[in-house]
């Protein structure tokens, strides 16, 4: 039986997952390009080893892995999607153990990529392997597409998809990049919010200048940027950009009904992320805010002196990175255009 095979090979599967997680596949950092290539090759070899026909495909950026197990053309075909790249692990000083040195604590695997998305992809691979080993084959045709640029907006994926459209033909696609609702409550994720990202720059004097000599006479880019950021939301935590919500799809009644059926413990929610209070758009529940409402967040601000001690300057430049989570009927271009016009 597949479950017996999984139980028997639990330790080996966990060790192999740790090997997969140990590759520092940070797609946003050019110095990790060799790690990306090595991880893709390792995945290809592993998939070949359990009966799939796998290959690494180069792209304009990081490579992707495609694999297939074709039983019979008359059977349904499932295409699994996942990604092996991860986000930067900084700040490193907040990790109890190294981000690429997996460790199990209190029933959880702590490492970058354990949850997003190597862990979920691994579950799909091992589940299918258990069926192959237990029965000798699969009851359907299966294809895997595991990319290396999801965390940098999959810039090269659309072109590759168009080029290999016939090879990817399937009856259904399963995204291995979400989670079940809880340990005892599975979930079928039928949609995710989209994303639009941009970077804002504010320029001042042609060089960093002394605040004792010029303070009060010259605009400080950091101060100005903070004022701009402070005007992105109103007192009800709604995005203040004119027309931002113009095309936003309203939450369907059936969705609201389904959300209300889900268990929700606000105290546990706050405890998990160690905050004293929740913060968000007035008039909506936590699930509605995080699942079906658009948001705008500043992901980072840069400017001025950040080293030890003091350096009393007016910086020449400041910048911030912003991402907006989008819902049906919104487009990234439209959101970015409205933000730019507002600022």
List, for residues 239-279, the tens digit of each pLDDT value.
Answer: 999 999 999 999 999 999 999 999 999 999 999 999 999 99
Q: Region 21-26: what's the mean pLDDT?
A: 98
How much of the chain, in percent, has pLDDT values that exceed 70? 100
* pLDDT tens, position by position, 274-290: 999 999 999 999 999 99
* pLDDT tens, position by position, 62-72: 999 999 999 99
Predicted local distance difference test score (pLDDT) of residue 163? 96
Q: How confident is the model at residue 44 (pLDDT cuts 50, 70, 90)?
A: very high
Asked if the model's pLDDT at residue 74 lies above 90, the reply is yes
Q: How confident is the model at residue 179 (pLDDT cuts 50, 70, 90)?
A: confident
Predicted local distance difference test score (pLDDT) of residue 150? 96
Predicted local distance difference test score (pLDDT) of residue 189? 82
Domains and CATH numbers, the chain: 2-175 (3.40.630.10), 194-342 (3.30.70.360)
Predicted local distance difference test score (pLDDT) of residue 180? 80
Predicted local distance difference test score (pLDDT) of residue 185? 85
Predicted local distance difference test score (pLDDT) of residue 82? 96
Predicted local distance difference test score (pLDDT) of residue 1? 85
Q: Region 293-310: what's the mean pLDDT?
A: 96
* Rounded-to-integer distance, Cα 189 and Cα 178, Å: 7
* pLDDT tens, position by position, 88-114: 999 999 999 999 999 999 889 999 999
How much of the chain, in percent, has pLDDT values that exceed 90? 92
Predicted local distance difference test score (pLDDT) of residue 319? 98
Predicted local distance difference test score (pLDDT) of residue 145? 98
Q: Average pLDDT, whole number, for the chain?
A: 95
Asked if the model's pLDDT at residue 211 lies above 90, the reply is yes
Asked if the model's pLDDT at residue 183 lies above 90, the reply is no
Asked if the model's pLDDT at residue 75 lies above 90, the reply is yes
Radius of gyration of the chain (CA): 24
Predicted local distance difference test score (pLDDT) of residue 187? 82
Q: What is the pTM of this model?
A: 0.77
Q: Region 119-142: what's the mean pLDDT?
A: 96
């Amino acid at each position: 039986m597949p479950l017996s095979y999984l139980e028997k090979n639990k330790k080996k599967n966990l060790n192999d997952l740790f090997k997969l997680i140990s590759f520092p596949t940070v797609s946003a950092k050019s110095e990790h390009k060799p790690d990306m290539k090595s991880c893709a090759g390792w995945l290809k070899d592993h998939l070949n080893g359990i009966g799939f026909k796998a290959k690494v495909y180069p792209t304009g950026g990081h490579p992707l892995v495609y694999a297939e197990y074709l039983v019979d053309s008359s059977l349904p075909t499932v295409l699994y999607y996942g990604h092996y790249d991860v986000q930067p692990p900084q700040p490193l000083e907040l990790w109890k153990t190294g981000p690429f040195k997996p460790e199990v604590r209190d029933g959880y695997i702590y490492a970058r990529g354990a949850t997003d998305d190597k862990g979920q992809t691994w579950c799909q691979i091992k589940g299918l392997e258990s069926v192959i080993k237990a029965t000798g084959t699969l009851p359907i045709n299966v294809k895997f597409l595991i990319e290396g640029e999801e965390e940098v907006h999959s810039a090269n994926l659309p072109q590759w998809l168009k080029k290999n459209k016939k090879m990817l033909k399937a009856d259904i696609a399963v995204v291995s990049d979400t989670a079940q609702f809880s340990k005892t409550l599975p979930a079928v994720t039928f949609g995710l919010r989209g994303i639009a990202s941009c970077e804002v720059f504010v320029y001042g004097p042609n060089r960093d200048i002394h605040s004792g000599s010029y303070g009060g006479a010259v605009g400080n880019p950091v101060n100005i940027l903070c004022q701009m950021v402070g005007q992105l939301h109103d007192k009800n935590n709604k995005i203040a950009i004119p027309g931002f919500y113009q095309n936003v799809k309203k939450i369907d009644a059936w969705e609201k009904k389904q959300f209300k059926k889900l268990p929700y413990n606000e105290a546990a929610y706050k405890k998990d992320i160690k905050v004293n209070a929740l913060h968000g758009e007035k008039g909506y529940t936590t699930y509605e805010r995080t699942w079906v409402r658009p948001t705008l967040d500043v992901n980072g601000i840069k400017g001025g002196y950040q080293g030890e001690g003091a350096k009393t300057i007016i910086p020449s430049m400041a910048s911030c990175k912003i991402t907006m989570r989008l819902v049906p009927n919104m487009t990234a271009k439209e959101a970015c255009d409205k933000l730019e016009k507002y600022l």
